[in-house]
Amino acid sequence: MSNIPIGPWTSANFTTQTDLSDKLYHLGKLSSGLIILGDSKGARVDGVIMEKVKGSTSNELPVEIAISGICLVEAGGNVNEGEQLICDGSGRAIADDGANQFVVGIAQKSGVAGDYISARLTLHPTLTA
């Protein structure tokens, strides 16, 4: 059992027209004022999706997004404790593997694809290699 705390985190409420019902703890970003799944490797994200929401173009719904603090994220590959995390292009967190990528946070626990790991959110661009 890990002794890494989860929370508290700061969250913000946005809206979505996307089905995020199976995207709990995935990375989300704003697009045209709505939250969508982080869909580009290493690109900017705005936080972590903290609730299951089934939005659609005809049903815009509120969604909570964690924007700072320590929360769970779904790993998209092997991640080691202490590594900087980026989006894998499918809304999951992977280890930063290149320059000029947007860092989501720092892994507080190691894991493999599909694991929920704790991450300290930082949400900033990086110039690391």
Tokens of 51: 């609730």
Give the pLDDT of residue 128. 57
Residue 125, preceding bond cis, omega within 30 degrees? no
CA distance 61 to 85: 28
Distances (CA, A) of 4 to 51, 52, 108, 112: 21, 24, 7, 17
Give the pLDDT of residue 126. 74
Domains assigned to the chain: 1-129 (2.40.300.10)
Tokens of 85: 């995390």
CA distance 67 to 121: 7
CA distance 17 to 57: 5
pLDDT tens-digit map of 75-87: 999 999 999 999 9
pLDDT tens-digit map of 90-109: 999 999 988 789 999 999 99
Enter the pTM of the model: 0.92
Give yes or no for a contact between 127 and 20, defined as CB atoms under 8 angstroms apart.
no
